[in-house]
Structure formats: structure tokens, C-alpha cells
A and B are shown apart, each in its own frame.
Chain A
């Protein structure tokens, strides 16, 4: 087991966004978190990545309590994330963004007088990830000039460039056309194999994708875990089908 949350509660003021959530992720697992809007999925990601300190409960990563320790230390421990609302560096190019991640991974940010352009390890590390994500031909485009889908991809790619052991992706394919969603998922899977990323947790709305790629699915509803199990089990769960999967049920059954 690599990541485990137990009895996590999270309040925003009086509002209880997470109400005793327990989840675990094993090494090598691809876990999808599903649930209607406002279910608490993003809050859970923020708690699991140490960005939010839970009001109650514990989060352990590699047997270590990480609740609220913050993203910087978590990145160093081997956990990375991307955001639901895309986060890029507007004035940095694609390759600079990825270089920044590689610099961080190699611990070279303290090199005040080194010439970045001559650091071949950093440049090659950045270009490798750019190629894996199909961003190589836009290497010198500033992030602010990228189309929305590529911004999302860059956000994810820069997290991958940290070579984390586990990566948490909050709606990695939102804003990407349905046809391209599968292409993005293929990239995620092959890139994580290539870079040695063991576990992936994603929040995803597209049920085709959820059922097609996940080893396990966690369904959240109103801050509680509604169901947790392999795809077949979730598909057979009426509660989940009614509250989360909803009308799309027919669609994925046909697809599957």
C-alpha cells in the first residue's frame, strides 16, 4: 500500500465536504474517483496531496503521516499532481516548464550561477517528456499561447516530469474533446510506464474512460464513499449507477 486515507473529514466553515472518507491505493494501481459535481472529489485530491489539512482523520503516504505537509515536501517524497483548473506558467515555454520540473526533481534549483541551457541532463529530461506528451513541436511556445487542451496536457506532463511514484490527476481530460480523451489516456498510461510512475489516481467524469482504464473505482457522494471496488462490481452497483453514472449507464454498457 502506497497511499491510505482514513476517516478523513474536511469542513469548509460549517459545511462538511468530506465526511469520514477512507481510501487506499496500492502500488501499481490505476484508481478513478467518480461522483457528481460537489461530491468532494477535488477536496479529496487536495487532502491526499497535502494541500489541505483535513479537519479529522489521517493521510499516510509510504507509511508516513502527510496530512497538511504541503506540496513541496510531498513532491520530494514522490507524489505529484495536476489541477482541475489548469495551472501553467503563462510566460514560460513548454520546454521551460518541463525544465523547471526536471530542475526540481534533480535538486538543481540552488545552482545560481550554472548555465541552464548547457545542462544537457535537464534539457533531455524535458524534451523526453515533451515528446511522450506530443508537445515537442510546441517546445518553444509560451504556455499562454497554447490551446486549452495542450495547457491541460502541459500541466499533467510537468507533474510526470517529476518522476513521482504516484500521481493524482484532477480531471486530466476536462476541456479535451471526447475523441481526444482516449488519446490522452493512452499517453498517460504509456508515459507512466516509461517513466516508472507506479500508481495513478484520477478524477474523471467520462464513464467510458473510467471503466476502460481503471483497476479500481471509488464513487463519492455528498462527502462519503458510496462504493469502492473493481469496475465490474461498480457497474453492478445500483446506488452508483443511479447517483453517479446516471443516464450515461446505457452508453458505457454498450461501449463495454
Chain B
């Protein structure tokens, strides 16, 4: 059943650029980038039980890595941008995670928030490298060595870049699927459910939390790198704490107890935000209300509502 749904959804996404207006196809680009980001965030949130309010830091790392590579260093290959983002994300996450995972609950959340703030300020103040509050340009990357500079921007985005993003998302999803079904993934869930008992079974909670944090940061950085090229610009708001809040919102909205929940949440968030913003200027008000409703009436998110008929599956997801 769920395989069928997944197959249909993938099919629709594959043919979408041929059927849908360019406007909606373009909206799919941030969706796919955020889908990668929240897949990673949920390893930490849904599977390890830690809520980070600072993951926009790693989105910023990825986005600015792409910008610096294309504008300052003359590197235009998207593959290199993604690899460099992943590597830099891991490099910065390693010490940040080592500090944060020693704390839990609100203290963990506040520490991640603090690191996010520090990085945001860095982006604002180190004008020469980052362009300050104006941000930086991201030049159009080459895809698999193909220089696509000659075609109009929209054609580039709804064509090659769209399928490239989709390929990255599918790959990221498959890798994450393996991770959560691995012995490692099981250890993360023991820690989420009961750290005391996990330790009694010889599972080192600090080590596993650290690993989950670093993996989630790599996902955020890769997704962040994908966010830049469609707009051609990155700015510090990518690393601002409200952005961290947005991805937590997506995860809650879709449902953190289900593997695909956060991806659904990212999709609904992006398209709803677009719709609401077109109608009223104060979309945050509407979104605040939605978030409150989700937390109160559907704590397992949209996926929880869909899957309610099969409680056993939810428990095992």
C-alpha cells in the first residue's frame, strides 16, 4: 500500500515539469532541498529524541559554501559544491555536536540555538567574505560537467536542475532509509525512548547522539547547498533562528514519528506558504495558528492522521 503511494508520488514528481506550469515546478525546488534537510533533522528529532533549534546554521554552511565556491573560487560544479558542503557541515558539526549532545531537552535546544546565533552574526559581520546582510551571489552551477550557461534560467531550473535536485533527494532518502533500519538506527531509538536503559545495555548515548547530530548536519548542509542556485542568492536569514524554527515546524507538521512525515511537512509548508503569502501579507500569523492546531490536535502530524488506521505501523515506523 505505502509502496504504491510512494511509486505514484515519485511518478508524479518525475512528469511534473512536463505538465505543471513553471511557477509550481519552481516551487518544487525549495521543497526538494527542504525535504533533504528535514530527512536529516528527523534522524535527530524523531529517531534520537533531540530537538535542535539551530540547524539553520548548517543550512547556512551549505548555502554559503556554494556561494563562496562559485563567486570567489571559480568552482562551478554542483557535485563539488555538494561534497564541499557536506564535508564542511560535518567538520563544523563535529565540535558543535560534541558540546551540545552532553545536554538534553531544553538545554540541548538552547545550546544549538546559541551556536546558530553565533554563526548568523558571523555571516553579518564578516562582510568581505560573506557580503554581510546583502548576502552573496550563487552563480549557475554546472551539472555533471555540463555547462548549461546558454539556456534561459527558467529552462535550466525546471529542467536539468529539477531532475538533479530530485536525484539528490532520492539518494538522500535511500541512504537515510538504510540508516534508520540499521543496527545504528535501532540504537538511536533506544536512546530516544529511554537513555538510562540504553546505557545499561552498553549503548553509549553521547557517541550515538553525536553521530546522529553530525549526519543531520550533513543533510542540512547538502539541502542548504541546493537552496542557493534557484534564487541565485544567499543571505544571512538562511542561518537565522526563525529558519531553524521553520524546519522544526515542517517536521512537526508532517509528523516526526513517520519516515516520510517530515518530507510531507516540507511539501505542505512550501506550497501553503506560497498560497497564504499571495493572499495575506502576515503569513506567520496563519502559520502560528496552524502550528498550535497541529500540536494540540494532531501531535503525530499529517502522517499521523493518515496512518491512524494502522497504529501498529506508526509505532514501528
Picked from B192, B193, B202, B316, the residue with its CB within 8 Å of the CB of A72 is B202
| Residues of chain A within 8 A of B181, CB atoms compared | 115-117
Nearest residue (CB) in B for A116 is B183
Task: Please report the total number of B residues contacting A with Cβ < 8 Å.
Answer: 29
| Residues of chain B within 8 A of A230, CB atoms compared | none
- Asked if B194 and A100 make an inter-chain contact with CB atoms under 8 angstroms apart, the answer reads no
- Any chain A CB within 8 A of the CB of B200? yes
- What's the Cα separation between A87 and B316 when bound, in Å? 19
- Asked if A87 and B204 make an inter-chain contact with CB atoms under 8 angstroms apart, the answer reads no
- Asked if B200 and A109 make an inter-chain contact with CB atoms under 8 angstroms apart, the answer reads no
- Asked if B200 and A100 make an inter-chain contact with CB atoms under 8 angstroms apart, the answer reads no
- Any chain A CB within 8 A of the CB of B4? no
Q: Count contacts between A and B, CB distance < 8 Å.
A: 108
- Asked if A114 and B196 make an inter-chain contact with CB atoms under 8 angstroms apart, the answer reads no
- Asked if A87 and B189 make an inter-chain contact with CB atoms under 8 angstroms apart, the answer reads no
CB under 8 Å from chain A, chain B span 196-236: 196-204, 208, 211
- Asked if A122 and B193 make an inter-chain contact with CB atoms under 8 angstroms apart, the answer reads no
CB under 8 Å from chain A, chain B span 296-315: 312, 315
**Beyond A108-B183, A116-B185, is A92–B193 a contact (Cβ under 8 Å)?**
yes
- Asked if A87 and B182 make an inter-chain contact with CB atoms under 8 angstroms apart, the answer reads no
**Beyond A110-B184, A112-B184, is A104–B179 a contact (Cβ under 8 Å)?**
no
**Beyond A88-B194, A92-B193, is A83–B185 a contact (Cβ under 8 Å)?**
no
B179, B181, B211, most chain A CB atoms within 10 A = B181
Nearest residue (CB) in B for A164 is B202
Determine how close the nearest CB of chain A comes to the CB of B3; give it in whole angstroms.
16
**Beyond A109-B187, A113-B178, is A87–B202 a contact (Cβ under 8 Å)?**
no
Binary contact readout A107-130 vs B (1 if CB under 8 angstroms, 0 otherwise)? 011111111110100100000000
Nearest residue (CB) in B for A113 is B178
| Residues of chain B within 8 A of A140, CB atoms compared | 312
Binds B, one of A59-67, A73-81, A197-205, A238-246: A73-81
| Residues of chain B within 8 A of A32, CB atoms compared | none
Binds B, one of A6-14, A154-162, A173-181, A216-224: A154-162
**Beyond A96-B186, A109-B183, is A162–B194 a contact (Cβ under 8 Å)?**
no
| Residues of chain A within 8 A of B201, CB atoms compared | 75, 80, 100-101, 104, 158-159, 162
| Residues of chain A within 8 A of B202, CB atoms compared | 71-72, 75-76, 104-105, 162
Determine how close the nearest CB of chain A comes to the CB of B177; give it in whole angstroms.
10
**Beyond A81-B200, A87-B196, A162-B202, is A100–B187 a contact (Cβ under 8 Å)?**
yes
- What's the Cα separation between A142 and B24 when bound, in Å? 42
- What's the Cα separation between A66 and B182 when bound, in Å? 32
- What's the Cα separation between A42 and B266 when bound, in Å? 48
CB under 8 Å from chain A, chain B span 149-201: 175, 178-179, 181-187, 189-190, 192-194, 196-201
Picked from A99, A111, A117, A162, the residue with its CB within 8 Å of the CB of B184 is A111
- What's the Cα separation between A170 and B192 when bound, in Å? 24
| Residues of chain A within 8 A of B197, CB atoms compared | 83, 87-89, 155, 158
B182, B185, B194, most chain A CB atoms within 10 A = B182
- Asked if B187 and A103 make an inter-chain contact with CB atoms under 8 angstroms apart, the answer reads yes
Nearest residue (CB) in B for A99 is B186
- Asked if B200 and A71 make an inter-chain contact with CB atoms under 8 angstroms apart, the answer reads yes
CB under 8 Å from chain B, chain A span 21-69: 49
**Beyond A88-B194, A89-B190, A91-B193, is A159–B200 a contact (Cβ under 8 Å)?**
yes
- Asked if B182 and A115 make an inter-chain contact with CB atoms under 8 angstroms apart, the answer reads yes
Picked from B179, B185, B199, the residue with its CB within 8 Å of the CB of A71 is B199
Picked from B178, B183, B198, B199, the residue with its CB within 8 Å of the CB of A119 is B183
- Asked if A90 and B186 make an inter-chain contact with CB atoms under 8 angstroms apart, the answer reads no
Picked from A80, A92, A93, A111, the residue with its CB within 8 Å of the CB of B182 is A111
Selected A-B contacts with CB under 8 Å, 8 pairs: A83-B200, A99-B183, A99-B186, A100-B203, A111-B182, A114-B184, A115-B182, A116-B183
B binding-site residues for A, Cβ under 8 Å:
175, 178-179, 181-187, 189-190, 192-194, 196-204, 208, 211, 312, 315-316
A binding-site residues for B, Cβ under 8 Å:
49, 70-72, 75-76, 80-83, 87-93, 96-97, 99-101, 103-105, 108-117, 119, 122, 140, 142, 155, 158-159, 162
